[in-house]
A and B are shown apart, each in its own frame.
Chain A
Amino acid sequence: DAGVIQSPRHEVTEMGQEVTLRCKPISGHNSLFWYRQTMMRGLELLIYFNNNVPIDDSGMPEDRFSAKMPNASFSTLKIQPSEPRDSAVYFCASSQGSLNSYNEQFFGPGTRLTVL
């Protein structure tokens, strides 16, 4: 199994540009999560999907952030327009869960975003 795949691994862009981060979850997993890691705020949950449906996006910082999961094997996190304070490492994770059980989340390697 290839694990959770994220692309790109590094992204450098200028303020105001659109940024799209991509994630391919582990095959068969039905939950997908986007997290952001910064020195100041640590690891924060941005949004998560169950069975391709967005369940909780309360962690999305602003309307500039949007996420989609068009099918079970692909998700995107988009920032438009990007700002320097969006610089962080963005992690995607997936898990296979069911009611009354909880399975571990498998994390991707992350995308390091730098907005100049």
Chain B
Amino acid sequence: AQSVTQPDIHITVSEGASLELRCNYSYGATPYLFWYVQSPGQGLQLLLKYFSGDTLVQGIKGFEAEFKRSQSSFNLRKPSVHWSDAAEYFCAVGAPSMYSGGGADGLTFGKGTHLIIQP
């Protein structure tokens, strides 16, 4: 069974400082990895995804993530955070459906990291 670990429950960063959110996964095959962001009272928005190819992926809002197979990690980074980045961040792993009907299997999420931005 697949699993995702986000070791940091809360992270506080000063506005303008760099950010790295950690994510480790467990999966038996090539993982499909995602980072989602959730603002208070809102649904989840996809920041970026990794399927294959270049291990450094770029996403929206200036975020990037690097897939490291040897470390089973997919850490999210941003060089300079803005106050509007304060939110909950979720790492997730998924897989294509094994069923002939196509489609996708459900995602397994980490517990999330709550990002606080200090002025």
Contacts and interface: CB of A to CB of B under 8 A. Distances in A.
Interface of A: 4, 30-31, 33, 35, 42-45, 48, 50-51, 53, 55-56, 59, 91, 93, 95, 97-110
A102 B32 contact: yes
Q: Size class of B's contact patch?
A: 20 to 34
A98 B43 contact: no
Main secondary structure of the interface of A (DSSP, over half): strand
Contacts of B74: none
Contacts of A103: 104
A107 B44 contact: yes
Q: Is the interface of B mostly helix, strand, loop or mixed?
A: loop
Contact of A48 (B36, B49, B106): B106
Given A107-B43, A109-B42, A98 B106 contact: no
A19 B18 CA distance: 44
Contacts of A98: 96, 102-103
Contact of A104 (B49, B95, B99): B49
